[in-house]
């Protein structure tokens, strides 16, 4: 079943069109990789799906579980099951990680008409998940991402993904700023979350990440469109020949 349907999407930022009619369908249980050179519109796509302000959708639509995503506020999208793992997770001094996690989780549950987690249940769940991701408890006591290394910030994103149990995860350049060990830990966390009901869109510039998170489908983006789609072998092909061939195609 189609979880995410992006249809002929056109997006502008400050009068400049970035996406020129992008179409993409992601089914439940699938992992899609979106690759492309800098400036091809990969991050714009992730931001528009999550609802970041500053982007003007001039044409096309985004359906999520058949509903019009563009009509929803970012928090409503999150409650429906859309999760964006940020390329650069922000630091929020003064907001304790645990407070943040609990407030966010309960806000999503409330929006879905579910009961809020009790403190013991919540703590048990966080402990369980953080242990599997190798996140020390004292990291959770600090302000959100404050003083975290690049790897810790990405692990914190994966922790949230595991806690919130979204049905669509968009990983925006998860590999940026990570050394190989940090990348492996984060990727292991992501792989553990793969399930027949959950889809993932992995946005990356390099093929390297896809050695760890192996996609079902690879799309190549160039100049605001998907110019080629294929199996995982397409990523290897790109690694060998580069993006130049697609720049002309677009």
Residues of this chain that bind another protein (CB under 8 A): 50-53, 73-75, 77-79, 84, 86, 89-90, 92-95, 99-100, 103-105, 107-108, 111, 143, 160, 164
The b-or-e profile of 214-237 (16+ CB within 10 A means b, else e) is ebebbbbbbbbbbbbeeeeebbee
- Nearest distance in Å: CB 109, another protein: 9
Rounded-to-integer distance, Cα 117 and Cα 96, Å: 18
32 or 77: CB nearest another protein: 77
80 or 225: CB nearest another protein: 80
Within 12-149, residue ranges assigned H as helices are 42-50, 74-80, 97-111, 119-132, 137-141
111 or 249: CB nearest another protein: 111
Neighbours of 208 (CB within 10 A): 14
Q: Which residues neighbour 62 within 8 Å (Cβ) at sequence distance 6 or greater?
A: 4, 5, 6, 7, 9, 48, 49, 68, 69, 70
- Nearest distance in Å: CB 33, another protein: 21
52 or 197: CB nearest another protein: 52
144 or 185: CB nearest another protein: 144
Task: Output the six-digit token pair for 15.
Answer: 């009068």
- Nearest distance in Å: CB 170, another protein: 10
Neighbours of 101 (CB within 10 A): 22
- Nearest distance in Å: CB 104, another protein: 4
- Nearest distance in Å: CB 227, another protein: 28
């Amino acid at each position: 079943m189609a979880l995410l349907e992006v249809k002929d999407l056109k997006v502008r930022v400050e009068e400049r069109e970035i996406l020129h009619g992008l179409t993409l369908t992601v089914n439940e249980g699938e992992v899609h990789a979106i690759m492309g050179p800098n400036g091809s519109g990969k991050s714009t796509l992730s931001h528009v799906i999550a609802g970041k302000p500053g982007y003007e959708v001039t044409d096309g639509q985004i359906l999520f579980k058949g509903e019009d995503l563009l009509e929803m506020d970012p928090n409503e999208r999150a409650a429906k099951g859309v999760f964006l793992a940020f390329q650069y997770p922000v630091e929020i001094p003064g907001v304790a990680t645990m407070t943040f996690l609990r407030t966010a989780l309960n806000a999503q549950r409330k929006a879905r008409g579910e009961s809020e987690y009790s403190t013991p249940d919540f703590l048990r769940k966080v402990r369980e998940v953080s242990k599997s991701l190798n996140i020390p408890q004292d990291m959770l006591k600090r302000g959100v991402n404050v003083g975290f290394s690049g790897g810790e910030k990405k692990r914190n994103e994966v922790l949230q993904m595991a806690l919130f149990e979204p049905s669509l995860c968009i990983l925006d350049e998860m590999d940026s700023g990570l050394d190989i060990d940090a990348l492996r830990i984060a990727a292991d966390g992501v792989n553990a979350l793969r399930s027949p009901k959950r889809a993932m869109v992995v946005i990356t510039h390099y093929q390297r990440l896809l050695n760890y998170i192996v996609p079902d489908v690879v799309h190549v983006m160039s100049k605001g469109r998907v110019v080629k789609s294929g199996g995982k072998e397409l990523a290897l092909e790109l690694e060998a020949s580069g993006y130049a061939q697609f720049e002309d195609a677009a």
